Structure 1
Amino acid sequence: MYKQVVICTGGSLGDWALPHLQHCDFLIGADKGAYFLASQGFRMNAALGDFDSVEEEQLALVRASSDTVSPCDPVDKDYTDTELAFRLALGMKPRHIKLLGATGTRFDHTLANVHLLSTALDEGVEASIIDEHNRISITGRSMSVEKSEFTHVSLLPLTERVTGITLTGFRYPLCDATLRIGQSLGISNVLDGDSGLIELREGRLLVIESRD
């Protein structure tokens, strides 16, 4: 079993992403994210997408830097390049999938990528989206949060309501609370110590660790 699969896709990327690429069992580049990896000297296990965001010479570098390249038609496809890469990763049944470059100027793509975390939860695979200022995860039962460079922890319901939320180790604790879509009660909490525990009874909860 793969422990960690990292996907680099075509949103906002930069030097901040490089440390997240150092220790993974399988590396996937999607569209422009594949070129980012190739330009930084990384070799991909797989590159895929319609590659409509890269030029011919950039695509040549991607091909030279990948074990396999799977191009697809930019029109005749049902999924975004990111979802194609995510489905490939899910099929490997890894312990964790890390998505880099999954946020950016296109909010529709960002939100669709956040929803992919729910798909991973259905398959019993941990998954997270990481960018320069945020780490986004999802839980349907319990989750530990460790102290890190991300100073704030926000909770947002992904289902209509999330019940039985109990927070331990946070400055603003909750006990058997309910969050509904449209409420901001779970925004901008902080850890009291080195770790905290989030527990819930029913629903799906986005856990967003962030920094300014």
Structure 2
Amino acid sequence: MNCISMNCIIVANGNLLFTPRIKRLLEEADLIVAADGGATHLKQMDIAPHVIIGDMDSIHPDTRCFFEKKGTPIILHPSRKNQTDTDLCVEFAVKKGATTVTMIGVTGHRLDHTLANIFLLRRLCTLGVESRIIDANNDIYLVTDHLKLEGKKGDLLSVLPVSDKVTGLTLTGLEYPLEDAAISMGSSLGISNYFKKSWVTISVLTGVLLVTKSRD
């Protein structure tokens, strides 16, 4: 069994706000992977990725040249491919042994890309890799068993089924707790709950649950 933890941050080319939290996460990362144009975000923060992966269709030429001069490895893929650049980065991180994956810059104006990136969390769940997406307003998780989150009293939290049904849904530490509930896809029952305590737990017996900790 591999007991060594590896914290990976994947930076894509979507919306990204340079908050102190984001900078701290990058500084603490064991592996930073840039998905194509995500390298531009890192250049603006004066942080070098360990590798840049993609078809190089969205990276600015100056950014590519900058990191090439620094000796940053670039793994080039053809533009006609069956995976998005972010998907390729997830695959790379898993092969490198990442035990935790955080994706930033993976939400934005393209809803198809945003949804595809959210559902990459499902694959990581299946592989036993802790994972999340962070943007300016949300921390996003997919839960297939159990999740514990820290927050402040009043922090918003919503849960949505993304499988036909979720059973055994139990929520603790929230203003509106649930115990052994069943909810179906399309239900808004889990929207706009909020932290009552500093730690909350979310658990399910079957199904897949989308969890968002949000900031208005």
* TM category, shorter: over 0.9
- Which consecutive unaligned segments of at least 5 residues does structure 1 have? none
What RMSD, in angstroms, separates the aligned Cα atoms of the two structures?
Answer: 1.6
Q: Residue 38 of structure 1 contacts residue 65 of structure 1 at CA under 8 Å; is this kept in 2?
A: no
Determine the C-alpha separation between the residues in 2 that align with 1:53 and 1:138.
Answer: 28
Secondary structure in 2 aligned to 1:52? coil
Find the counterpart in structure 2 of residue 151 from structure 1: 155
Task: Provide Cα deviations, 1:57-97, integer angstroms capped at 9, x if missing partner.
Answer: 221013234531112222x2110111111111112232210
Task: Provide Cα deviations, 1:3-62, integer angstroms capped at 9, x if missing partner.
Answer: 210000010012123232110101101111012112321121111111211332221013
Determine the C-alpha separation between the residues in 2 that align with 1:6 and 1:125.
Answer: 13
Q: Residue 152 of structure 2 contacts residue 197 of structure 2 at CA under 8 Å; is this kept in 1?
A: no
Determine the C-alpha separation between the residues in 1 that align with 2:154 and 2:177.
Answer: 19
Determine the C-alpha separation between the residues in 2 that align with 1:67 and 1:165.
Answer: 45
Determine the C-alpha separation between the residues in 2 that align with 1:10 and 1:83.
Answer: 13
Secondary structure in 2 aligned to 1:143? strand
Determine the C-alpha separation between the residues in 2 that align with 1:156 and 1:57.
Answer: 42
Find the counterpart in structure 1 of residue 8 from structure 2: 5
Determine the C-alpha separation between the residues in 1 that align with 2:5 and 2:177.
Answer: 35
Distance 1:102 1:30, change over 3 A: same
TM-score by length of 1: 0.94
Q: Residue 96 of structure 1 contacts residue 126 of structure 1 at CA under 8 Å; is this kept in 2?
A: yes
Determine the C-alpha separation between the residues in 2 that align with 1:148 and 1:65.
Answer: 41
1:31 is the counterpart of 2:36: yes
Match of 1:49 among 42, 45, 54: 54
Distance 1:175 1:32, change over 3 A: same
Q: Residue 150 of structure 1 contacts residue 209 of structure 1 at CA under 8 Å; is this kept in 2?
A: no
Secondary structure in 1 aligned to 2:190? coil
1:206 is the counterpart of 2:210: yes
Find the counterpart in structure 2 of residue 188 from structure 1: 192
Tell me which moved more, 48-57 or 133-142. Answer: 48-57
Find the counterpart in structure 1 of residue 73 from structure 2: 68
Distance 1:13 1:65, change over 3 A: farther
Distance 1:20 1:26, change over 3 A: same
Aligned length in residues: 211
Task: Provide Cα deviations, 1:77-122, integer angstroms capped at 9, x if missing partner.
Answer: 1101111111111122322100000100100000000000000011
1:59 is the counterpart of 2:64: yes
Secondary structure in 2 aligned to 1:176? strand
Determine the C-alpha separation between the residues in 2 that align with 1:186 and 1:118.
Answer: 19
Find the counterpart in structure 1 of residue 24 from structure 2: 19
Secondary structure in 1 aligned to 2:193? coil
- Which consecutive unaligned segments of at least 5 residues does structure 2 have? none
